[in-house]
Amino acid sequence: MAPVIKLNGETIEIDCSEMSNLSGIAEKVAESFFAPKEVVTELYVNDILVKEGAVASTGETPISEIRTVSFNTVKDPAEKVVELLKKMGAYLDGFSAGVGKVADQFRMGSPEEANRILVQAIEGVGSFTELLSAVRLVTGSGLSDLSYENKSLGEREERLLEITKKMQASQEEKDWITVADLLEYELGPLMTEWKEMIPLLENEVLKSI
C-alpha cells in the first residue's frame, strides 16, 4: 500500500510506484507541489518528527516501511533560514571540543561508544550542508563570491565532503587512529571556520528579504 502523504496538513496524491525510499517521495513532492523558494520546516515519518540531524539518514528509509509522510513548509523561508543559521552557530560552538573527546575515545580503544557519537556528528554535518543548500535557495545565489580568510565557500564545502568520505572509509576499515586524527585535526577545525562564517551567511540571507 502506498504511504499517505500530507503537505501542510492536506493530503496530496503522487505516484510512488517507481520510488524506492523517502528521498524519492520528497523529491517528487518538491517538484510537483512546492512554490519557488519553498522549504521544509518539519518532516514527520510514520507520525514521528524527524530530527534535523537525522534527515539525511532517514531519506534512505525504504518505501515499504513508510505508512505516512507529512511535510510542513514555509513559502517565504528567509527568516526561518536565519533562525536555523543561528541555531547551527550555537551547535557548532561546541563541535570541535565534542569531536576532540570522541577522538580520545577512539585512541583509548573504546570504538563502540565513539562510533555512536560519530554517527550523530556526521548527521550534524549533513544538516549543515542541507542548510547551505537552503541559503542558496533563498538567496538565489551560488554564493561563489563569499569567502573567509582567503578561502571560498565552495572550497570549504569540497574539503568538508572530502573529510567526511575519508572518515567513513576509515570507519569501515576500523582504522580508529585515522578516524580520530581526521576528527580532531581536520573536521573540528574546519567546522570552527564554518562557525565563523555563519554571520556572513546570515547577511546574505537578510539581503534577500
Q: For the segment 170-201, what is each residue's pLDDT rounded down to a tens digit? A: 999 999 999 999 999 999 999 999 999 999 99
CA distance 52 to 130: 10
> On the CB side of 208, how many CA atoms lie within 13 Å of its CA?
21
pLDDT band at 102 (very low <50, low <70, confident <90, very high): very high
Is it the case that residue 122 has pLDDT exceeding 90? no
Alpha carbon 80 to its chain's center: 15
CA distance 91 to 136: 21
User: Can you give the residue ranges of every domain in the chain?
Assistant: 4-74, 78-207
pLDDT at residue number 31 = 93
pLDDT band at 85 (very low <50, low <70, confident <90, very high): very high
Alpha-helix residue ranges (DSSP H) falling in the chain: 22-33, 55-58, 78-93, 95-107, 111-139, 153-172, 176-181, 188-207
26-30, 50-54, 112-116, 173-177: lowest mean pLDDT where?
Answer: 50-54
Q: Torsions phi, psi of 150, nearest 5? A: 65, 20
CA distance 100 to 80: 31
Spell out a b/e string for 156-180, using b for 16 or more CB atoms within 10 Å of the CB, else e: beeebeebbebbeebbeeeebebbb
Among residues of the chain, what percentage have pLDDT more than 90? 45
Between 133 and 24, residue with greater pLDDT: 24
For 146-168, the pLDDT digits (tens) are 777 888 888 888 899 899 999 98
pLDDT at residue number 149 = 80
CB count, 10 Å around CB of 65? Answer: 11
The top-level CATH class assigned to 4-74 is alpha beta
* pTM, full prediction: 0.65
